[in-house]
Structure 1
Amino acid sequence: MRLRRSTGRTTDPAHPVHPVDRVPPAGRLAVYGMQHVLAFYAGAVVVPILLANAIGLDERQLIHLINADLFTCGIASILQSVGIGRIGVRLPLLQGVTFTAVSPMIAIGLAAGGGTAGLTTIYGAVIVAGLVTFLAAPYVARLLRFFPPVVTGTVITVIGLALLPVAATDAVGGANAPDPGNPLYLGLALGTLAVIVLIQRLFRGFLATVAVLAGLVLGTLAAVPFGLVDLSAVGESDWVGVTTPFHFGWPQFSIAAILSMIVVMMITAVETTGDVIATGEIVDKKVGPDDVARALRADGAATTLGGVLNSFPYTCFAENVGLVRLTRVSSRWVVAAAGGFMILIGLVPKAGALVAAVPHPVLGGAALAMFATVAVVGIQTLSRVDFRDHRNVVVVGSGLGVALFVTVQPDVAQALPQWAGIVLGSGITAGSVVAIGLNLLFFHTGRRRGAAPATAGGDTVTFDRLAAADAGEFAAVLGRLFEGPTAVPGRVHARGPFTDATALRAAVQDELFAAPPEEQRALMGHYPDLGGLVGTGSAAPASARDGGTATTGAGAAALRDRAGLALLDGDDRAELARLAAAYRERFGFPLIVCLRDAGDRGALLATARRRLTHPPAQEHAAALVAVATVAGHRFDDLVSG
């Protein structure tokens, strides 16, 4: 049983259509779809440009990479939003090449000799990693509890920081011809960055979402008088062209490169999960492990397809998740339309040639803004971490330290065997491996030290500590929300990880309402009449049951509930006892009311009299709502952060 108001409306009220599944009119569908393309376009083409510059590809090869990227992005977005069988989450999520893969792909390409030889080795790793992701999707969805905010925040911060040197290299002229002392390069890079910042400061809504694209356009126009924009390739390119499988040659398979790319895809799985959960919250649609598994299958399928069609690893694009929140247009068919537009653009080589003409300093200025923003997202995630627990300090500090060490001194990889050099030769993969490994070491193996147990009775629990708890501790903590034993905490744990305490609280409510009716009724039987948290149930602290003076944690929560009984004098208590006895006799379970929300004594007694007249099905629902309300209050008292 699930009591959630549906936002869907249709001419048939018996079969409402969720806003995610509605198809807007053709005109709006086209406009909204193109808006997603514009918000996505700049980020979509940055990865092939950065990779081509780093491994020494020429302009024509870069044009083909851009077109292949856009073409495959369109297919991947349709696969994720529309879905085929158990592939695709069917939410308004647009797919793009993950920035996480940039540094590892550059390392793989250079280790293989650069140029097309490096590219074919990259594609071999991408194909295998995509297949592994596809097959492992349901298992990875269950393992995501090993990626709490302390890990995901570190990984996202590392991604942003490790990519900033790549942006800085472009800002000074590119890897092939760097000139840090050139004032023109500096002016174009900082000018592009300034345009992006000013647009975001002065405008709101759609214009703010295309600030990066506007910065690239205006920066390129400013570079024209200085002869830095070469459009000859645009005139020489065809109007129509189709990317063919294995255009650059048959893929080459290197064990070290494959392992490195699998690590990238596992990190990408964490990003995808966060985007799926965030989008589900935005569009008011429940997201569970099966949804995450379908999203990861789509990532894996799109990544394998990318390796075949001369593109790269794919994930849900966070920029477009923000656009869904901003516009409140939640139809997944809008993203499918955007995918159709990208396929069309990918079939026009002139479009790719135009993008390839963007000068390096302009691209570097825009990349500085984008990559720094990624680092800020990681810092936001880390703000939910309890740094009073020294273990979290070690995880974050070591992950960032190793990542920046490898990023600043990339030649250190030469001190390692070749296979390890490729896996750990990228700051992103090195820092991520360290953060994931230390989190497993400190929070999931052996005897835990350095912090009080998450189940310490009467204490509040930080969200981060609860997120890192194993299944037993997790269930013990959330079990304190209820008056009797229930399987709800275990099912909530299986749905994790959660982005924050709000998402976890919502999951508790969802699982409570989704439980079988007989399980709900058994749980309600453990509640004292009008007891909330202050009766004789096992979850109530002794201090509260006995009228003690506990003032913190669960004890304080129980006393706040019990305070409602002070509203009743002797006659009222006798009347309440009579009503409660009649209620239990009629319905077979106790009269449950959340005393914190009960109001004055007249309202409390009126509620009891009114509910005694309800039909059994209605009272089952009312009692369950009371249980959920009490649990919600107690969650707020128990879980911090």
Structure 2
Amino acid sequence: MEIVETVETAASVNAKSLEQQEHDLVYQLDGKPRLRTAIPLGMQHVLAMFASNLAPILLIAGACSLNGADTIIMMQCAMFVSGLTTFIQLYPIRLGKRLRIGGNLPIVMGTSFAFVPTATTVAATGGIGAVLGGCLLGSVSEVLIGVFYKYLRKFFPPLVVGSTLITIGINLMSAGAGYFAGGVGSEDYGSIRNLSIAFLVLAIVVLLQRFGKGLFKSSALLIAMVIGYILCAFLGMVDTQAIMEAGWFSVPKPFHFKMTFSIPVTISFAALYITSGLETIGNTSGITMAGFDREATETETSGAILADAGGSILAACFNALPNTAFGQNAGIVSMTKVVNKFCIATGAFILMISGFVPKLGALFAAIPAPVLGGSIISVFSMIIINGIKMIAKAGFSERNVLILGVTFALGLGLAKDPAAVAQLPSAIRFIFSDSVAATCIVAIILNLIFPIKDKEELEKAKAALLDS
């Protein structure tokens, strides 16, 4: 009897030991937890970024007046490329001894909102072909940042990134307001029904972000969209024809749209890729600090930037907007401390598989405008807040205030009046026709013209750069 009890006790202890090992494994970078553990943790990341990953596609498809079928193709490709680029971040491609594409970190990639204002401007004159062509060629600037990161990082302090983020947020707010009211040009634009639905969706996002826990908090956008979607379906506001006609399976096809290229468009997108790269730098450092209690290494940061650039090149070839590291997913890592690559990879795999299901893309393409506006307008405002935070890190010295004043004067002032720059050479005129590109380029130039001289201020700038 005693022998049997001893064996049962040993088995119980062994089972607890295996369970503890499984629990500890998710907090380690490498290792392969069981699927029943990995899949829920991976799905958490997918749910947190799913809506934000597809929303920029809806905005650009609307700006380019694309039909439902083309919009669904873009959504398929966006899901597929985001999953594939996340895989590359998790399991890097090595390029010799020093370089690699991928950070070898739990970084989740998705479609960037930062390119939407410029893409909208380009789409007005050149259509989706010009947008994708600019995204493809402009990515060279981020490739260079990744390759020469060690030498170039000093040229892109928080002042440059912060002012650019603020301009992006301000431009996006107008687009968000248009969707909030029901979509510019709609017959019931600004109606009580549209505004009520949008305010309801926004309220759900705010309440979940403020009081929600765990998955409910990280998936606030998606939950709010689903509730708004169902309400609109009951009110007859959802066009289900495209959903019914969409197939269940289709392979994402590259080069669906014919690209066109021009130097001014390329310059505008190249400036935005700098901001995207710096955003990836910040998220990479945030993940290593939260998950490993250390700064990101030069190799990790360089690899993450190159994966960002490579994913954006893939996105352009696959009819989607550029990718970037998603801050909300870095926030999940910070909150849960789950850094296991295999767990994140299960989510990336699910995201890629979703790209082969056109009906899923059609389901999102049919989201009524007020639902989309109510959910994403808070995202746009957070972009502005993040820009303010970055500028605050740099401080408000006399030099910084001067640079900010001139940057916003030209980027948000002069660039907002096309007639004022109509007599300039075409390349410069095009840059100033887009306030985001103008803000970024002017900020970089002014930081080079007025270098930091004061020793104390220099130390503060270095500390802020490391924090970002």
TM-score bracket, normalised by the shorter chain, equals 0.7 to 0.9
Residue 104 of structure 1 pairs with residue 114 of structure 2: no
Q: CA deviation at 1:153?
A: 2.2
- CA gap of 1:370–1:217, structure 2 versus 1, over 3 A, is same
1:129 touches 1:304 (CA, 8 Å); kept in 2?
no
Q: Judging by fraction of residues, say which structure has more helix.
A: 2
Whether the 8 Å CA contact 1:162–1:403 is kept in 2: the answer is: no
C-alpha distance in 2, partners of 1:88/1:200? 31
Partner of 1:44: 53
* Correspondence list, 1:510-525, <5 A: none
- Alpha-carbon distance change, 177 to 401 in structure 1, aligned in 2, over 3 angstroms: farther
Q: Please give the alpha-carbon distance, in whole angstroms, between the structure 2 residues aligned to 1:51 and 1:38.
A: 22
Structure possessing the higher radius of gyration over alpha carbons: 1
1:17 and 1:171 mapped to 2: Cα distance?
A: 40
3-state SS in 2 of match to 1:383: helix
CA contact (8 A) 2:246 2:358 kept: yes
Q: Residues 81 and 90 of structure 1 are in contact (CA less than 8 Å); yes or no, is this contact kept in structure 2?
A: yes
User: Post-superposition shift, 1:178?
Assistant: 6.8
Task: Kindly state the Cα deviation for residue 202 of structure 1 after the two structures are TM-superposed.
Answer: 2.6
Does the Cα contact within 8 Å between 1:30 and 1:337 map onto a contact in 2?
yes
- Of 245, 251, 274, 1:236 maps to 245
5 Å-filtered alignment, 1:243-254, equals: 243-249=252-258, 251-254=259-262
Equivalent-residue separation in structure 2 for 1:236 and 1:277 (angstroms) = 44
Q: Which residue of 1 aligns with 2:467?
A: 499
* Residues 146-176 of structure 1 deviation map (CA, whole Å, 9 limit, x = unaligned): 2222222222222222211110111122234
Structure 2 portions without partners, runs of 5+ = 1-19, 95-99
Q: Which residue of 2 aligns with 1:151?
A: 160
Whole-angstrom CA distance in 2 between matches of 1:410 and 1:66: 32
State yes or no: 1:390 paired with 2:398: yes
Q: Write the mapping of 1:150-549 to structure 2, written as runs, cut at 5 A.
A: 150-177=159-186, 179-249=188-258, 251-284=259-292, 285-387=294-396, 389-405=397-413, 409=417, 416-443=424-451, 448=453, 453-454=454-455, 461=456, 465-468=458-461, 497-499=465-467
Q: Shift of the alpha carbon at 1:358?
A: 0.6
Instruction: State the alpha-carbon separation in 2 of the partners of residues 45 and 122 from structure 1.
Output: 17
* Aligned match of 1:489: none
Q: Residues 475-524 of structure 1, C-alpha deviation per residue, up to 9 Å, x if partnerless? A: xxxxxxxxxxxxxxxxxx9xx94116xxxxxxxxxxxxxxxxxxxxxxxx
Q: What's the CA shift for 1:126?
A: 1.7
Q: Is contact 1:126–1:258 with CA below 8 Å preserved after alignment?
A: yes
Q: Go from structure 1 to structure 2 and tell me whether the alpha carbon gap of 1:272 and 1:406 turns closer, same or farther (over 3 Å shift).
A: farther
Q: Does the aligned pair in 1 maintain the 2:76–2:358 contact within 8 Å?
A: yes
C-alpha distance in 1 between matches for 2:200 and 2:416: 26
CA contact (8 A) 1:406 1:426 kept: no
Deviations along 1:2-52, one digit per CA (max 9) or x if unpaired, are xxxxxxxx99xxxx9981223322111111111100000010001100001
Displacement of 1:288 = 2.3
Distance 2:363 2:198 in 1: 19
Distance change in 2, residues 1:406/1:369 (3 Å) = farther
2:139 is aligned with 1:130: yes
Is the 2:108–2:329 Cα contact (8 Å) retained in structure 1?
yes
- Matched to 1:31, the amino acid is P
Structure 2 residue matching 1:90: 3-state secondary structure: coil
2:106 corresponds to 1:92:
yes
Partner residue, 1:521: none
Is residue 54–residue 175 contact of structure 1 (8 Å, CA) maintained in 2? no
C-alpha distance in 1 between matches for 2:421 and 2:378:
28
Give the TM-score normalised by the residue count of structure 1.
Answer: 0.65
Partner residue of 1:34 out of 26, 43, 66: 43
User: In the aligned structure 1, how far is the partner of 2:78 from the partner of 2:369?
Assistant: 19
CA distance in 2, matches of 1:435, 1:178: 41
How far off its partner does 1:53 sit? 0.8
Q: Structure 1 residue 127: deviation in Å?
A: 1.8
Q: CA deviation at 1:111?
A: 2.0
Could you tell me how far apart the structure 2 residues matched to 1:181 and 1:297 are?
43
The CA distance in 2 between the partners of 1:409 and 1:224, in whole Å, is 41
Corresponding residue number in structure 1 for 2:14: none
Q: Determine helix, strand or coil for the equivalent of 1:384.
A: helix
Q: Aligned partners of 1:413 and 1:64: how far apart in 2?
A: 37
- The question of whether the paired residues in 2 share the 8 Å contact of 1:170 and 1:364 is answered with yes
Q: Tell me, in whole angstroms, the C-alpha distance in 1 between the residues paired with 2:309 and 2:60.
A: 21
Does the aligned pair in 2 maintain the 1:229–1:357 contact within 8 Å? Answer: yes
Structure 2 distance, partners of 1:399, 1:438, is: 8
Q: Deviations over 1:241-263 (max 9, x none)?
A: 112111123x2211111111111
Percent identity at matched positions? 29
Q: CA deviation at 1:207?
A: 0.7
Q: CA deviation at 1:413?
A: 6.4
| CA drift at 1:466 | 1.6
Is the Cα contact below 8 Å between 2:201 and 2:375 reproduced in 1? yes
What is the TM-score normalised by the length of structure 2? 0.88
Q: CA RMSD in A?
A: 2.4
Q: Which amino acid aligns with 1:298?
A: A
Give distance in 2, aligned partners of 1:417 and 1:226: 52
Partner AA of 2:413 in structure 1: F
Q: Which amino acid aligns with 2:267?
A: L
| Kept after mapping to 1: 8 A contact 2:394/2:460 | no
* Separation in structure 2 between the aligned mates of residue 404 and residue 321 of structure 1, nearest angstrom: 30
Q: Which residue of 1 aligns with 2:16?
A: none
Distance 1:182 1:353, change over 3 A: same
- Say if 1:132 and 1:358 are closer, same or farther in 2 by CA, change over 3 A: same
Taking the aligned partners of 1:415 and 1:97, their CA distance within structure 2 comes to: 35
Residues 24 and 399 from structure 1, CA distance in 2 versus in 1: closer, same or farther, beyond 3 angstroms? farther
Report Cα offsets for 1:565-604 as digits up to 9, x if no partner: xxxxxxxxxxxxxxxxxxxxxxxxxxxxxxxxxxxxxxxx
Q: Structure 1 residues 190-199 or 85-94, which shifts more?
A: 190-199
2:459 alignment partner AA: L
Which secondary structure state, in structure 2, belongs to the residue aligned with residue 283 of structure 1?
A: helix
Quote the offset at 1:335 in angstroms.
2.2
CA distance in 2, matches of 1:414, 1:173: 33
Distance 1:370 1:410 in 2: 28
Whether the 8 Å contact between 2:162 and 2:388 is mirrored in structure 1 is yes
Q: Is the 8 A contact 1:158 1:428 kept in 2?
A: yes
